[in-house]
């Protein structure tokens, strides 16, 4: 303790011998100053809680109240523009501008005349940025305010400007963003790796090459192979995004829930720029959306809804409730045109052989399986896989001939998983399994059997790794969405090598007509 005191004294002594900083109280405007700003000729302006605005032209030696003509005496923020005009935010009468000794109300373009400002940021040519208490961001061009919030997330809390003219804004639980007005009016995510403030809940890659991830504040999109991300949640109110799907028509579907909780499905026809709610059957959340035929999409759900199964025959634009109402359905997949498998909370694996008109519950004696059946997937050869939770060695398969009537359990000792959360296959039909706490297991495509070797494939992932979804990009790299409640030690991970090289398509000339006509190939 004595050593610590001596060191502290030594540092203080030498610090004071090098440079001393002292403060002297000025005879300021009053004791409740809320904000202060200085113009190019060293005129100081101070806003106060209840006495308006004061000005000093002699470095704070004397002050004059300049509030005559100002609509309100309670001031939230003051800022000098680049042309030395003064902007002031009042508590109840919006924004005023001070120039040549007089005040002018400047609320044109704002949603009301009493917008409360968090902070102003000056821009070139006398223009101004500001963030309102609603979290919205506005730009003043000398005549009117324009809403430039665009894809900036909700709960904006701070805004600042850099010396090179860059504008930065911060959102509560959302991170920091930089405004890019030259390239599509976007707020660019400045939080590398989709960090702890935004836990990643799902991942998908579209045929056009865009990537999407779901978070608690909505979908994010990357159009540069994951290097940068932009929040794309326009019109979405069920922000916790649990799945994103690119359908056969190229539209994007996402499903999420709000705080009630209630679930909904949204559809975007412009690559995520805006969304339209297309389904909400009263469930607390949708659990899975999957493409069946080119024009048919199915959605499973859980709890409280009018049904636990819905379908769309117009690319997700509208939905029809299937009459099936059972416990929570966690996943759905298809082995034939009219054969549908579902995994649920209490019924194990159920099957429909007539396109979903009726279902046989608990096929293959799957009802006694321990826990929920949370994953159903079919490989390229028609084998059906079913995975559960709450236990170990909880992965089964059924051959195409058995069609779910007989199941074989995988028994590899390495397959110690606590929840089969996703299963995908590459172009060689190799399997990749995402586990609730133990990362990823991989099995090479052979004759599937109880003793199939499942290889731990989690090097580079955090420990433990709650891996909730897997997917491939257009270059064959695999992505894993790893989740924790607060996002720490989690995020979106990319394989170091391509494991699913894009499939090459061979076209054959029909021998009829011209070579340069695509229809002849």
Residues facing 331 on adjacent strands: 343
Per-residue tens of pLDDT for the chain, all 521 residues? 333 433 333 333 334 444 456 676 566 666 689 999 999 999 999 999 999 999 999 999 999 999 999 989 999 999 999 999 999 999 999 999 999 999 999 999 999 999 999 999 998 889 999 999 999 999 999 999 999 998 887 788 899 987 778 898 988 766 778 897 766 578 876 765 444 345 788 999 998 889 999 988 899 999 988 888 888 999 999 999 999 999 999 999 999 999 888 999 999 999 999 999 999 989 999 999 999 988 899 999 988 777 889 999 999 999 999 998 888 999 999 988 789 999 998 899 999 999 999 999 999 999 888 678 899 999 999 999 999 987 666 899 999 999 999 999 999 988 877 889 999 999 999 999 999 888 899 999 989 999 999 999 988 888 788 899 999 998 889 999 988 765 556 788 888 888 876 554 444 444 454 544 545 44
What is the CA angle 444-418-226, rounded to 5? 65
Give which of 488, 414, 492 is closest to 460, Cα–Cα: 492
Pairing of strands 340-344, 349-352: antiparallel
- If you ran DSSP here, which 8-state letter would residue 124 be given? G
Give which of 469, 505, 472, 425 is closest to 206, Cα–Cα: 472
Where exactly are the structural domains of the chain? 26-188, 195-494
pTM for this entry: 0.62
Look at domain 195-494 and name its CATH class. mainly beta
* Topology agreement, domain 26-188 and domain 195-494: no
Sign of the torsion formed by the C-alpha atoms of 177, 197, 215 and 429: positive
- CATH code at 26-188: 2.120.10.30
Specify the 3-state DSSP secondary structure of 265: strand
**Interatomic CA distance for residues 148 and 285, integer angstroms:** 32
Residues facing 481 on adjacent strands: 469, 492
Residues 140/130, Cβ–Cβ less than 8 Å: yes
């Amino acid at each position: 303790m004595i050593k610590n005191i001596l060191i502290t004294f030594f540092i203080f002594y030498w610090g004071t011998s090098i440079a001393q900083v002292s403060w002297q109280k000025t005879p300021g405007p009053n004791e409740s100053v809320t904000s202060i700003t200085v113009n190019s000729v060293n005129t100081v302006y101070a806003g106060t809680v209840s006495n308006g605005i004061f000005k000093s032209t002699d470095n704070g030696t004397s002050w004059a109240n300049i509030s005559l003509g100002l609509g309100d005496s309670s001031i939230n923020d003051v800022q000098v523009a680049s042309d030395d005009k003064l902007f002031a935010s009042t508590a109840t009468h919006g924004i005023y501008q001070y120039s040549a000794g007089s005040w002018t109300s400047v609320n044109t373009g704002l949603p009301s005349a009493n917008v409360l400002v968090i902070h102003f940021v000056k821009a070139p040519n006398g223009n101004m940025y500001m963030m309102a208490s609603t979290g919205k961001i506005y730009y003043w061009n000398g005549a009117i305010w324009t809403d430039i919030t665009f894809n900036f997330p909700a709960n904006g809390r701070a805004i600042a400007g850099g010396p090179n003219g860059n504008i930065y804004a911060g959102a509560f639980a959302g991170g920091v963003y930089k405004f890019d007005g030259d390239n599509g009016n976007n707020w660019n995510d400045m939080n590398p790796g989709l960090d702890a403030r935004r836990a990643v809940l799902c991942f998908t890659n579209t045929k056009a090459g865009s990537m999407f991830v779901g978070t608690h504040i909505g979908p994010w999109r990357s159009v540069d192979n994951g290097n940068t991300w932009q929040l794309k949640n326009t019109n979405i109110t069920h922000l916790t995004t649990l799945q994103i799907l690119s359908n056969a028509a190229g539209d994007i579907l996402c499903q999420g829930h709000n705080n009630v909780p209630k679930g909904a499905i949204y559809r975007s026809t412009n690559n995520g720029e805006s969304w339209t709610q297309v389904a909400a059957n009263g469930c607390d959340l949708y659990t899975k959306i999957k493409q069946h035929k080119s024009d048919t999409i199915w959605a499973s759900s859980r709890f409280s809804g009018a049904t636990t199964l819905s379908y769309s025959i117009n690319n997700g634009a509208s939905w029809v409730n299937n009459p099936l109402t059972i416990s929570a359905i966690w996943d759905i997949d298809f082995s034939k045109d009219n054969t549908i498998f579902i995994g649920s909370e209490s019924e194990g694996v159920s099957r429909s052989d007539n396109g979903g008109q009726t279902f046989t519950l608990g096929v293959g004696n799957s009802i006694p399986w321990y826990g929920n059946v949370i994953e159903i997937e079919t490989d390229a050869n028609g084998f059906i896989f079913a995975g559960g939770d709450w236990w170990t060695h909880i992965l089964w398969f059924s051959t195409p001939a058995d069609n779910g009537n007989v199941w074989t359990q995988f028994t590899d000792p390495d397959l110690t998983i606590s929840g089969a959360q996703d299963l995908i296959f590459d172009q060689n039909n190799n399997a990749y399994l995402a586990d609730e706490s133990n990362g990823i297991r991989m099995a090479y495509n052979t004759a599937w059997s109880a003793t199939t070797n499942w290889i731990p494939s989690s090097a580079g992932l955090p420990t433990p790794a709650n891996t909730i979804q897997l997917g491939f990009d257009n270059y064959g790299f695999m992505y894993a969405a790893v989740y924790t409640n607060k996002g720490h030690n989690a995020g979106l991970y990319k394989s170091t090598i391509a494991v699913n090289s894009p499939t090459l398509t061979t076209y054959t000339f029909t021998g009829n007509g011209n070579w340069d006509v695509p229809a002849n190939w």
